[in-house]
A and B are shown apart, each in its own frame.
Chain A
Amino acid sequence: MSGPVLAVSDLTTEFFTKAGTVRAVNGVSFVLNRGEILGLVGESGSGKSVTGFSLLGLIEAPGRITGGKVLLGGEDLVGMKPAAIRSLRGRRIAMVFQDPMMTLNPVLSIVTQMGLAITAHEKASKEEIRRRAAAALTKVGIPDAARRLDDFPHQFSGGMRQRVAIATALLHQPEVIIADEPTTALDVSIQAQILAEVRKLVAETGTAFIWISHDLATIAALSDRIAVMYAGRIVEEGPTEAVLTAPRHPYTAGLLASLPAQGAPGEALKQIPGGMPALGNLPPGCAFAPRCERAAEICKTPPEMTRAGTRGHRCWRPIGLEGVAA
């Protein structure tokens, strides 16, 4: 299997509301390879979750994908007929959400819910469903899986519930799993367990992950590559270690500097002044310019994504590359 598993080019999603049109995803492009974990980082309102939903075609009115391509193994998901895209969801591309207590139906047993996910795509007997569900639960590290099949969501702890959600996503061995803030609602120690579990899964199955989060620390620990989003656009991307040790975009640098771990004890925490602009009210040119200490006249024109090797940055005045013509 050659070539990337997922190739997104110029994806644009807009919401047409009474208050105006909001462009939540603004020409986002990236590529995902087999067995790769891509971390999509950004604050609330940056458009990262909407990007995730757009990939699965789950954007509902008043929103709509208005441009771009999402190629899953060569097939373009944008503009696909609903029946066709439904057959792909869960089977070749799946999603895990933030709060498993909200995503799992409290009145149905685990095996019932997983069974529904299985029979959505193929016929399966009751025994087969139980077998596959138990196998999936065991794979994500839930002990005594066969006996827990008939339990209800509230009988599991938070971390376990999220594992159940991940197990459900894995049922059809999809090529891509999109995880939207999956560990944000969990304790730090449980988070670490889930991250370890995911790394193991990726190594075993070769599933590619898109890990969406606002938590730089988790992304740093887990992902192979990282893409930083701001106001609907990707402003920097590249191998995680490279980007985090030598950020090129001032926003990335700002995020890193504001991590509590970065500050000396007793020192005031560094903040990026100001706030992200509302997506319906973007300034012309670079969206980060109003808050950027490196901003100049040229930043009034929207910067393009400049690629250099495995990295990319969307900035006229990138850090560490002064002297390199934009």
Chain B
Amino acid sequence: MLAFLIQRVSQAVIVALAMSLLVFLGVYAIGNPIDALISPDATQQIRAETIARYGLDQPLWRQYLNFLGNILHGDFGKSFVFNIPVLELILSRLPATLELTLMAVIGATLIGVPLGMYAGYRPNSPIAKLIMALSIFGFSVPTFWIGLVLILVFAVHFGVLPAGGRGDTVRVLGVEWSFLTLDGLKHLFLPALNLSLFKMSLMIRLARAGTREIMLTDTVKFARAAGLSDRTILIRHVLRLISIPIVTVFGLEFASTLAFAVVTETIFSWPGVGKLIIDSITALDRPVMVAYLVLVAILFMLINLLVDLAYALLDPRLRARGAA
């Protein structure tokens, strides 16, 4: 088990390094940030000062090494736009994104899996067909469009829910969370719903496919021959068996949802990390872009690691192999 962990962590480190290099090179290859910082008719002196201050005149490899060195000190530089340390900037926006993403993915799983299991259990029933039709819809419709429709219907037309922004927050463990207030929940509902629909459809389809396959196996036949009710079979056998692929997808999708939050945050003006990256791309705020991508890469490694661990916990066959 320990060897497994060390291997995965060292892999993650290598990847993070590679990512940082790629990202650094890529980002610094776009455009000239000078033009984003000072007006075109600034004096030469101001130009020179700005260049010196941000180290933009040094050779690329130098800039990279500085960057790497700084990262290890937790210093990602200062945002060109906001003029505060990037790490601070990102960390201040992270809770908003995390809470949105968690709500979305958890909601998607809690609703999607039971619906999908039913559809897989009685594939030809009208309810199952309805569920599948809805899932195709949720799967096909681009997230941003659903967001628009949700705003149109609930905020503009009915006026029951806010069209954007984050609600009141409560400080817990030194971080501001909004899902603990009623106003916060009102603001959280639409964007979380928006973000969750795609995942929900995925969960439904996954649960359905898995259930359908498993219902045809000998395990289920044997259980039936022993007199188990279908309900027991679904809950104790099928659910347990599909939990493995579902957890894997949950983990992967969490990462991808975090990324997709970019779109939802833009539409709902949600002050999270996603909106930050879009604004940074437009404003060519390089340090922010670089830091975001590197941090995101690290986050994904962590998530993958956690998924692998969960996998090992859920599938006893892997535990034996890992220990051997």
Please determine whether chains A and B interact with each other in the same assembly.
Answer: yes
- List the interface of chain A (C-beta within 8 A of B): 56, 58, 86-91, 94-95, 97, 99, 102-109, 112, 116-117, 120-121, 152, 154-155, 165, 168-169
The one of B227, B237, B240 that contacts A86, using a Cβ cutoff of 8 Å: B227
Q: Which residues from chain A contact B232 at a C-beta distance below 8 Å? A: 116, 120
Query: Which residue on B lies nearest to A154, using beta carbons?
Result: B317
Separation of A108 and B320 alpha carbons in the complex (Å): 14
CB–CB B227/A105 < 8 A: no
CB–CB A116/B229 < 8 A: no
Min CB distance A184 to B, Å, is 14
17 pairs of residues in contact across A and B, judged by CB atoms under 8 Å: A58-B225, A87-B227, A89-B224, A89-B227, A90-B227, A91-B227, A95-B225, A97-B225, A106-B315, A106-B317, A107-B314, A108-B240, A116-B232, A117-B223, A117-B226, A154-B316, A168-B226
Min CB distance A91 to B, Å, is 6
Separation of A95 and B221 alpha carbons in the complex (Å): 10
Q: Which residues from chain B contact A56 at a C-beta distance below 8 Å? A: 225
Query: Which residue on A lies nearest to B124, using beta carbons?
Result: A61
Min CB distance A176 to B, Å, is 12
- List the interface of chain B (C-beta within 8 A of A): 217-219, 221-229, 232, 236-237, 240-241, 244, 314-317, 320
Q: Per DSSP, are chain A's interface residues mostly helix, strand or loop, or mixed?
A: mixed
Q: Which residues from chain A contact B315 at a C-beta distance below 8 Å? A: 106-107
Max count, chain B CB within 10 A of own CB: residue among A91, A105, A121: A105
CB–CB A105/B320 < 8 A: no
Separation of A132 and B317 alpha carbons in the complex (Å): 26
**13 further interface pairs, Cβ-Cβ under 8 Å (given A86-B224, A106-B316):** A58-B224, A89-B227, A94-B226, A95-B222, A95-B225, A97-B218, A97-B221, A107-B241, A120-B232, A121-B227, A152-B316, A154-B316, A154-B317
CB–CB B316/A107 < 8 A: yes
The one of B219, B227, B317 that contacts A104, using a Cβ cutoff of 8 Å: B219
Query: Which residue on A lies nearest to B238, using beta carbons?
Result: A105
Query: Which residue on B lies nearest to A85, using beta carbons?
Result: B227
Separation of A155 and B321 alpha carbons in the complex (Å): 11
Separation of A106 and B241 alpha carbons in the complex (Å): 9
> A58-B221, A102-B219 in contact; A108/B237 too (CB < 8 A)?
yes
Query: Which residue on A lies nearest to B321, using beta carbons?
Result: A154
Separation of A112 and B219 alpha carbons in the complex (Å): 14
The 8 lowest CB-CB distance pairs between A and B, nearest first, are: A90-B227, A90-B226, A103-B222, A95-B225, A89-B227, A102-B218, A117-B226, A120-B227
> A107-B314, A108-B237, A152-B316 in contact; A165/B222 too (CB < 8 A)?
yes
Q: Which residues from chain A contact B217 at a C-beta distance below 8 Å? A: 102
Q: Which residues from chain A contact B225 at a C-beta distance below 8 Å? A: 56, 58, 89-90, 94-95, 97
Min CB distance A227 to B, Å, is 21
Min CB distance B221 to A, Å, is 6
Separation of A112 and B218 alpha carbons in the complex (Å): 17
Q: Which residues from chain A contact B221 at a C-beta distance below 8 Å? A: 58, 97, 103
